[in-house]
Amino acid sequence: MSKGNDRKPIAVYYEHPEWFKPLFAELERRGISYEKLLASAFQYDPTVRRSPYSLIVNRMSPSAHTRGNAHAIFSTLHYLSYLKSIGANVLNGYDAYLYEFSKARQVGLLEKLGICHPRARVINSASLAPAAAEGLLFPVILKPNIGGSGAMIVRFNSKEELSEAAQNGHINLGIDQTALIQEYLPAENSSIIRVEILDGEFLYAIRLFLTAGEFNLCPADYCLPPVVEGHLGDGMADGVSGRGIPVEAYTPPDDVINDVLRIASAAHIEVGGVEYLINERDGDVYYYDINALSNFVADAPNIIGFDPFPRLVDFIVKRARIRSSALT
């Protein structure tokens, strides 16, 4: 561990103004030097070929577009590419981010790994939606490639319903004009599971119980993108108590944990979550979402029995290669 890293601060690159307050608080409690890099108003010099930080912690969310910060999603890709090119030390860097903001890439990765997932087709024109759904079992959902917190996911119960929406211009492909037409799978016990990993190991899992028509399964506070007159709101509403959806601790089977660790490793995700459900039709496990951003469950000590943020900071210190003596 170099003295150079001991003198360099950690950087936290983020966009959501609420999610990372516990992270900042834990860094400050330990006296760790860090800088906040706000993704929605950010600049850098691509001619500088050495990072001023011991570690850049990427906490950028694809749901930024629900808060009026869509531009930051794409500029982050360029910044992370630059960091990779200069060999900067980045937690959840460019390679992980490629999967974070692309549902299409996630499906391709799951297929490559031989891991079960809902069947899907990718389109870049709303007019192609009915044809893309051929051979899929209805209901289907239209899922924008860049989503976040269930934003703009729509269910279609029949081919006729999907065709009518396409003909009438009622299909929104999202901010990159790319979307998935995906089979909608009924979840056993009306619940889904999110498994969180940290540093290649299982951290915790939670089960979220669903309400009718609900696609926003974010378990943290401040992640409900409200819809007002058909438009997304500011994405700042409370994501748990505001919806009243029950959340409980859960222990997945070992084979599921192993699948999740395989997925995270293949996606270069060092801290993140993978969501799955048990298909009510056949009783099998289907993985459907890969998240390189972990904002952690709200009220964690009461739900999972511990606060995950100190463990995250332990890992950040380890990844920054800072000696413990340099933290005081």
Task: Look up residue 265 and give its two tokens.
Answer: 């490793």
Which positions ≥6 away from 318 have C-beta within 8 Å? 199
Residue 177 has pLDDT above 60, yes or no: yes
Among the listed ranges 66-70, 107-111, 229-233, which one has the minimum average pLDDT value? 229-233
Which CATH class name applies to 120-183? Answer: alpha beta
* CA 204 – CA 93 distance, rounded (Å): 23
| Local confidence band at 322 (pLDDT 50, 70, 90 cut-offs) | low
* CA 324 – CA 267 distance, rounded (Å): 30
Instruction: Tell me what pLDDT residue 236 has.
Output: 45
Any idea where the domains of the chain sit in the sequence? 3-93+313-322, 100-116+186-306, 120-183
Cβ pair 289, 274 in contact under 8 A: yes
* CA 137 – CA 2 distance, rounded (Å): 56
Residue 194 has pLDDT above 70, yes or no: yes
- What CATH number has the domain spanning 100-116+186-306? 3.30.470.20
Provide Rg for the chain, Cα atoms: 20
Q: Model pTM greater than 0.85?
A: yes
The correct answer on CATH 3.40.50 for the domain covering 3-93+313-322 is yes
Q: What is the mean pLDDT of the chain?
A: 88
**Count of C-beta atoms within a 10 Å radius of residue 102:** 20
| Local confidence band at 152 (pLDDT 50, 70, 90 cut-offs) | confident
Per residue in 82-96, pLDDT (tens digit) is 999 999 999 999 999
